[in-house]
Amino acid sequence: MSVSQPNLEDIELQLLLEGIYQYYGFDFRNYAVSSLKRRIRKILHAEELATISELQARILHDPDCLKRFLLGITVNVTSMFRDPSFFLAFRQKVIPLLRTYPYIRIWHAGCSEGQEVYSMAILLQEEGLYNRCRIYATDANEIVLQKAKSGIYPLGLMQQYTQLYLQAGGKQSFSEYYTAAYDSAIFRATLRENIVFSQHNLATDRSFNEFNIILCRNVLIYFDSVLQQRVHQLFHESLCTFGILALGRQESLRLSPFANRYEDLDKREKIYRRLD
């Protein structure tokens, strides 16, 4: 009886991810394989390499290649007021609850380049709650965090962002929140006053505070089931009783071991409240 030959690409992928974890501490070992392969093939093309083994050698011996790898492998697709119906539901169903809190701690996990963090800061400011909030915006990728800290985005995107802002229930003129300079939009410094940007890896790092709200939208879909379970446990440990957890529209608590520990605040927009 013949024994099936292991897939060489799969072996190379495992060795690459293990090498990156052992040498640099970045853990992508439980990311969804199909998504990883697609992104790595693009990186191979950009680096003009033929195999994943060649990429492994370059990454382990060239920190600049690691930086390029991190940009290519992490998911940084976002926008201001992405999925405006979510922000509208947040205004209608979460804000009334937050008005009863003397102080509000918010964790935005996987914040990417920060557009959704600034969106939440704008929303909280318009609802009169921002001065009692502290937003912890984290991402595993230090490069995109630096972009988020700057609060500077292409001016050409502002028309699209304005439409999304209005659909999300915006109450002012969106242009009041930024200054146009050359081809960039620089968001007001006051929006950053209560935001702490820091590096945090959902795959390896632990809880660092207790939060009233955790936002992690459109991140878990890129993790395999093992890592998803770890992150759900991390969030449950980090969320106070009656705290709010918000996931992306394609994500769910349904298969999580903590599903019965939450109630739906908005089933469609995946907004949950911890019960115990």
Q: What is the pLDDT of residue 1?
A: 46
Asked if 181 contacts 164 with a C-beta cutoff of 8 angstroms, the reply is no
Signed CA dihedral, 264, 265, 271, 274: sign only: negative
Q: For residue 75, what pLDDT is reported?
A: 61
What is the distance between the alpha carbons of residues 111 and 132, in angstroms, rounded to a whole number?
A: 21
pLDDT tens sequence across 70-115: 878 776 667 899 999 999 999 999 999 999 999 999 999 999 999 9
pLDDT value at 250 more than 50: yes
Of 13, 28, 77, 71, the closest CA to residue 202 belongs to 28
Q: Is the pLDDT of residue 233 over 50?
A: yes
pLDDT band at 183 (very low <50, low <70, confident <90, very high): very high
User: Residue 221: its pLDDT value, please?
Assistant: 82
Average pLDDT over residues 177-200: 96
| Beta strands 152-154; 184-187: pairing state | antiparallel
Is the model more confident about 51 or about 225? 51
Q: Which residues pair with 245 in a beta bridge?
A: 214, 272
**Does 196 score more than 60 pLDDT?**
yes
User: Which range (193-197, 230-234, 251-255) has the least confidence?
Assistant: 251-255
Tell me, what's the pLDDT at 179? 97
With 0-12 / 13-18 / 19 or more C-beta atoms within 10 angstroms meaning exposed / middle / buried, residue 55 is buried
Q: Is the pLDDT of residue 226 over 90?
A: no
| CA dihedral (218, 26, 22, 12) positive or negative | positive
* 91 in Cβ contact with 271 (< 8 Å): no
pLDDT digits (tens, 9 = 90+) for 121-138: 999 999 999 999 999 999
Within 10 A of 240 (CB to CB), how many other CB atoms are there?
Answer: 15
Q: Mean pLDDT, to the nearest integer, of 204-232?
A: 91
pLDDT at 254: 80
pLDDT value of residue 3: 53
pLDDT for position 31: 81
The strand ranges marked E within the chain are 104-109, 133-139, 152-154, 178-181, 184-187, 195-199, 211-216, 239-247, 262-266, 271-274
Q: Which of 28-32, 43-47, 166-170, 182-186 has the lowest mean pLDDT?
A: 28-32
Question: What mean pLDDT is reported for the chain?
Answer: 92
Q: Are strands 178-181 and 195-199 parallel, antiparallel or unpaired?
A: unpaired
Res. 11 pLDDT band, cuts 50 70 90 = very high
Distance CA 252, CA 250 (A): 7
Q: What is the DSSP string of 163-208?
A: HHHHHTT--S-GGGGEEEETTEEEE-GGGGTTEEEEE--TTT----
Domains of the chain (ranges, CATH numbers): 8-73 (no CATH), 84-151+188-274 (3.40.50.150)
**Per-residue model confidence as pLDDT tens digits over 31-51:** 888 888 988 999 999 999 999
Percent of the chain past pLDDT 90, that is, above it, reads 74
Find the helix packing angle between 63-73 and 142-150, rounded to 10°: 70
What pLDDT, on a 0 to 100 scale, did the predictor assign at position 5?
Answer: 65
Average pLDDT over residues 6-24: 90
pTM for the predicted model, two decimal places: 0.83
Integer Cα distance of 11 and 145 in angstroms: 32
What is the mean predicted confidence (pLDDT) over 211-235? 91
| Average pLDDT of the segment spanning 206-223 | 92
Distances (CA, A) of 42 to 26, 35, 71, 144, 215: 19, 11, 12, 19, 29
Contacts of 57 (CB under 8 A, 6+ apart): none
**What's the CA gap between 88 and 105, in Å, rounded?**
20
